[in-house]
Amino acid sequence: MQENTSLPITEDRFMKTFKYFKSNKPKPSLKDVITAEKCSDHQVINITANTVIEDPRAELLGLKNLREWQVFTLKKHPGLLFIRNPFTALGQRYWIRKCLEEYPKKPNKLNIDIEITLEDWWRECFRNGECEKQLQKKLRWTTLGYHHNWDTKVYTESNKSKFPEDLAELSDVLAKYLGYSDFTAEAAIVNYYHMNSTLSAHTDHSEVNLKAPLFSFSFGQSAIFLIGGRDKSVEPSALLINSGDIVVMSKEARLCYHAVPKILPAVDSPWDVLDTEIIMPDSKNINFKYISQSEDIMLSMKENIDNKWHRFKDYIKESRINMNVRQVLNENQTSILMQ
């Protein structure tokens, strides 16, 4: 995934900006960091559609009514879309919990596999009742579907597990909303960040299909996200990403360099703002494309309202989680071998 070019340091504007925001002493100024609030600014355009077709799946997946979504693009980075937190508070809890309790389980791959193979990382963290902080901190990524191979950067049929139905459904709702009727979620990397974590400059180019967009969902603490150009000489723009925000890398932006130089404490914790009375969505008459057992979602949502939530809350108050979802294959391609 990571591609290093050896530009003279003066021409590597991406690295210069990365180092600026990464620095703790002196602390970077955030005055030029783009936020959705600055949408009247010359840098950001609000491209929210006026007419939106409702999707009955949205509520059960923890999403707000599609008519409430707000979509922006950056003038300097066509193809880079930013959707300002379209999740409900319960939706935020649902996805945070999934990323911690469900996805870092076998047969999915974890960064800690090289050190220790755990069937169920989250359960192991609480094996003795108390939270084992050291083990909890070790998790940096989990891969789903076609597993990203960090050495070869090549996806293979032999290194693949079932893609989670709920995440496929969430991606499908988003894809349809954006007009991508043929998008299929086939691979994802879930990144886990602590307050001092960074992610260096890279492009995502391992997928056979580079025309399909890449969807990036973030929860928990905030981050500065840098988006540059096709090479590192292009000065990147810095974007503030808060819990629930979605970044879409499509078209010209799909192969651009990006990075996370800094995690920042979240000003708000939208996962905490539950309405006093939650009415559970009615899943009976909803047609899902991928989900076979909507009862599992309902159960998990209910558990997030009551006593089961506190362990996830403790984790997320000092961490950030990012799930980035890709389509790997071309349309009508059923296997990576069929190129």
Contact residues for ligand SIN, defined by CB under 6 A = 189, 191, 199, 216, 218, 223, 225, 258, 260, 322, 324
220 vs 281, beta carbon nearer ligand SIN: 220
The amino acid that residue 266 corresponds to is A
The answer to whether the bond into 26 is cis (omega within 30° of 0) is yes
Minimum separation from the CB atom of position 228 to ligand SIN (A)? 12
Q: Which residues of 96-115 are buried (b: 16+ CB within 10 A; e: fewer)?
A: bbbbbbbbbeeebbbbbeee
Minimum separation from the CB atom of position 317 to ligand SIN (A)? 18
Minimum separation from the CB atom of position 83 to ligand SIN (A)? 13
Minimum separation from the CB atom of position 29 to ligand SIN (A)? 21
180 vs 215, beta carbon nearer ligand SIN: 215
Minimum separation from the CB atom of position 198 to ligand SIN (A)? 10
- Residue number closest to ligand SIN, CB atom: 322
Q: Are 100 and 315 contacting, i.e. CB atoms less than 8 angstroms apart?
A: yes
121 vs 225, beta carbon nearer ligand SIN: 225
CA within 13 Å, CB half, 275: 7
**Burial, 60: exposed, middle or buried (Cβ in 10 Å; 0-12, 13-18, 19+)?**
buried
Q: What stretches of the chain show up as alpha helix (H) in DSSP?
A: 13-22, 89-97, 121-125, 133-138, 165-178, 294-305, 310-316
187 vs 301, beta carbon nearer ligand SIN: 187
141 vs 309, beta carbon nearer ligand SIN: 141
Per DSSP, the residues of 123-172 read HHHTTTSS--HHHHHH--EEEEEBPP-TTT----TTSB-PPPHHHHHHHH
84 vs 258, beta carbon nearer ligand SIN: 258
Minimum separation from the CB atom of position 181 to ligand SIN (A)? 25
143 vs 322, beta carbon nearer ligand SIN: 322
Minimum separation from the CB atom of position 265 to ligand SIN (A)? 16
